[in-house]
Structure 1
Amino acid sequence: MEIKFKSIVLLSVWTIIIIVHTLFLYLTYQLTFVQSLADALVFNSIFALISFGLWFMTAFYDVSQRKNFDLLLNHAAACLITISAWISISVYALKVIFVGETGYVDFLVQSIPIRGIVGFLLYVGFVWAFYMVRMLSVRNWQIEQHEKLSQQLRDAQLKALTSQINPHFLFNSLNSIHALIMIDADKAGDMILKLSELMRYSFSKQQQMVSFNEEIQQVKRYLDIEKIRFSERLNVELTVEEDAKKAIVPSMILQPLVENAVKYGIYGVETEVLISLSAEFKENILNVKLVNNFDESVPVKHGTGMGLKNVNERLATLYFRNDLLRVEKKQNYFEVNLKIPQL
């Protein structure tokens, strides 16, 4: 497709040059229309053929490895040879076509110096254009390679960040099971089954991006596990708009935030905790709000912060923005606001 487009452009340029050439001779030198058209066709067709040689010369001539003087000398020689061959072949062909028409032949011979100047300008113009095309092609190739390498690097970073989520969650879940075994073995068995379902989903999902509805279902599985441990002390409220469910989000992006809410809301306290998760789709952005209350009288247990840091880094890597996750501690509750742009 690209080659076809370039061919059409090149043909259009030469057609315009031939038309201008014909009209110039016909109106300025009062040649016949046939003479003017033949002159334009022969001279421009032959230069067009020669220009293919100029293209190959510029395509395979490594300018970066040449000194300026050598480059100038080589092009001066090539220009002289090109103009000489162009004029000689064209004049000979037109003399054969218009043999016996002394008026045109005399004009042809007298116009050789002017044609030499025109040939020089054509040579400079075409060589410059060829070098520009080559430079742009190399630049575009470099940009493509840079983008490809950048994408590969981002993919590697995302895989590394995602791989940290499963062990982190598994560690927390096993701690919960360990604590539950001492209290209620039956509930611990139920929790192990639910954990296996959760981990099966986590390990089977290889895509970087999934629907928000899938993320919600994963969060529900996680909260089911925590409810077995904390029973009526853990209350959950989900309010998700239908449009929001269709949004595309990074896989496992929501679970670390919910884990964080459970950890700082209910761990180490005896009171009930409400975790409220709402999501709406507005102006091509998925807005997620996660709120959990906490007991101010209980000292906050500081963790590694890996979950939130992981989410922030993944968002920055994917969307090139650092303002998509905001965490606020208010009077008696934490509020997390997450924005996911739709690409």
Structure 2
Amino acid sequence: MLVILAMHYFILSTLFDLPRDITIYDSVFSTVILTFSIWGIILLVRAYPTIVAITVYALFVALFVSSVTVFAQYEVLKLWLHEPAYEQYRTWLSSTLPVRFLAVWIFCTWVGTISAFRKNLAALDSRFQQQVDASALLKEAELFKLRQQLQPHFLYNSLNSINALIMIAPGRAQEMIGKLSDFLRSSVKRESDDMIPIADELSYIRSYLAIESVRFGDRLQVLFQQQDTDHASVPPFLLQPLLENAIKFGLYGNTGAVQIAVNIAMNGGMLQLSITNPYDPDMQPPRGTGFGLKGVQRRLYLLYARNDLLETHKDGSIFTTILKIPQQYVQSNTDRR
């Protein structure tokens, strides 16, 4: 407002050569009234209940407030400078009302449209934030659903095996129940974690494989090779469905021992896990095989917005699954160096 006051004073004193006292009165009163008018425009635009046709509403408000402002300026100045000595100024004031109205209307219109634009922008930001929050909740819900689908699938198989072992090998059934209890307890503890150290994931996987070993005995052999991955981290419950898939492909229709190789290493900024298992290309896989791969693929997309983090390759009788997990700590360590 100080800028408007200075401009008003400069125009009256330079262009119209008015006396100093009249220039001061006119500038101060006009600027104060205009200030209240601008404040009123902003409040009226903010109080508008919607953003539909808000620009048109702001233009009408600016027109109305401009008329009231000029009228108030005229009445206040005429009342304040009512002495006969100011008769010539009052005549001049009446003649300049159209010009005053035009200047005030242009400024009020600018203020009104800016206020309408800001209200529109705030509404769009709010709507965008609501959509972002809804998308985040939907993503979290889908991730939770995918994680929950994995455990029942494995649990059903384990319970069926326990049921079969109760009559023929009660000791093994009891052992499997104990391992299953420990496994499920550790699953609950990890449920709320977004990322966990690779060592914790491998400990969890070994508990899972201990249960599977009770089911399949010496037929199941899983070899781990790990190279310089102590600081790596992975989303929990991501490796289990891949191993479950490898066990199904490798053991289905096979009566002998099956060896599954798990290689874990860093490749650039990625933690790369490679799972290799034998399979019979002519053998029809068991019903439900492949759910784990699809679930992992979807989880990776939701977590990293990428579709190239899971690969599968078939080479004769060997099936290979390659999982890649981006590692944030690699970039931070590079920056510190």
Question: Do the aligned residues in 1 keep the contact of 2:250 with 2:278 (CA within 8 Å)?
Answer: yes
Q: TM-score normalised to the size of structure 2?
A: 0.77
Question: Do the aligned residues in 1 keep the contact of 2:33 with 2:72 (CA within 8 Å)?
Answer: no
For 1:207, the aligned partner's letter is S
1:271 to 257, 260, 264: 257
Judged with a 3 Å threshold, the aligned counterparts in structure 2 of structure 1 residues 31 and 182 are, in CA distance, closer, same or farther, namely: farther
Tell me the CA shift for residue 186 of structure 1: 3.4
Q: Which residue of 2 aligns with 1:340?
A: 325
Q: Which residue of 1 aligns with 2:287?
A: 303
Distance 1:257 1:33 in 2: 88
Distance 1:40 1:221 in 2: 84
1:280 to 236, 259, 266: 266
Tell me the CA shift for residue 318 of structure 1: 3.5
Segments of 5+ residues of structure 1 without an aligned counterpart are 1-13
Tell me the CA shift for residue 181 of structure 1: 5.4
Tell me the CA shift for residue 273 of structure 1: 0.7
Judged with a 3 Å threshold, the aligned counterparts in structure 2 of structure 1 residues 114 and 289 are, in CA distance, closer, same or farther, namely: same
Question: Do the aligned residues in 1 keep the contact of 2:197 with 2:231 (CA within 8 Å)?
Answer: yes
Distance 1:326 1:38 in 2: 81
Distance 1:38 1:128 in 2: 30
Q: Deviations over 1:115-144 (max 9, x none)?
A: 221101011111111111111111111112
Distance 2:67 2:164 in 1: 91
Tell me the CA shift for residue 164 of structure 1: 1.1
Question: Do the aligned residues in 1 keep the contact of 2:312 with 2:319 (CA within 8 Å)?
Answer: yes
Matching of residue 294 in structure 1 with residue 281 in structure 2: no
3-state SS of 2:195 partner: strand
Question: Do the aligned residues in 2 keep the contact of 1:244 with 1:279 (CA within 8 Å)?
Answer: no
Judged with a 3 Å threshold, the aligned counterparts in structure 2 of structure 1 residues 195 and 66 are, in CA distance, closer, same or farther, namely: closer
Q: Deviations over 1:8-46 (max 9, x none)?
A: xxxxxx444445555555665567899767755543333
Question: Do the aligned residues in 2 keep the contact of 1:292 with 1:335 (CA within 8 Å)?
Answer: yes
Tell me the CA shift for residue 336 of structure 1: 1.8
Q: Which residue of 1 aligns with 2:106?
A: 121
TM alignment of 1:53-202, pairs within 5 A: 53-62=40-49, 76-89=63-76, 91=77, 95=81, 111-178=96-163, 184-202=169-187
1:258 to 215, 240, 243: 243
3-state SS of 1:328 partner: strand
Distance 1:288 1:73 in 2: 64
Q: Deviations over 1:50-77 (max 9, x none)?
A: 2221122222335667799998766644
For 1:46, the aligned partner's letter is I
Judged with a 3 Å threshold, the aligned counterparts in structure 2 of structure 1 residues 76 and 170 are, in CA distance, closer, same or farther, namely: same
Q: Deviations over 1:160-189 (max 9, x none)?
A: 222211101112223444555577543443
3-state SS of 2:242 partner: helix
Distance 1:95 1:240 in 2: 92
Distance 1:199 1:253 in 2: 15
Matching of residue 234 in structure 1 with residue 221 in structure 2: yes
For 1:217, the aligned partner's letter is S
Q: Which residue of 2 aligns with 1:218?
A: 204
Q: TM-score normalised to the size of structure 1?
A: 0.76
Matching of residue 45 in structure 1 with residue 26 in structure 2: no
Segments of 5+ residues of structure 2 without an aligned counterpart are 329-337
For 1:81, the aligned partner's letter is V
How many residue pairs get aligned? The number is 324
Judged with a 3 Å threshold, the aligned counterparts in structure 2 of structure 1 residues 54 and 333 are, in CA distance, closer, same or farther, namely: same
Distance 1:215 1:19 in 2: 71
Q: Which residue of 1 aligns with 2:301?
A: 316
For 2:175, the aligned partner's letter is D
Judged with a 3 Å threshold, the aligned counterparts in structure 2 of structure 1 residues 261 and 26 are, in CA distance, closer, same or farther, namely: farther
Distance 2:149 2:298 in 1: 12
Distance 1:86 1:320 in 2: 61
Percent of aligned positions that are identical: 27
For 1:164, the aligned partner's letter is Q
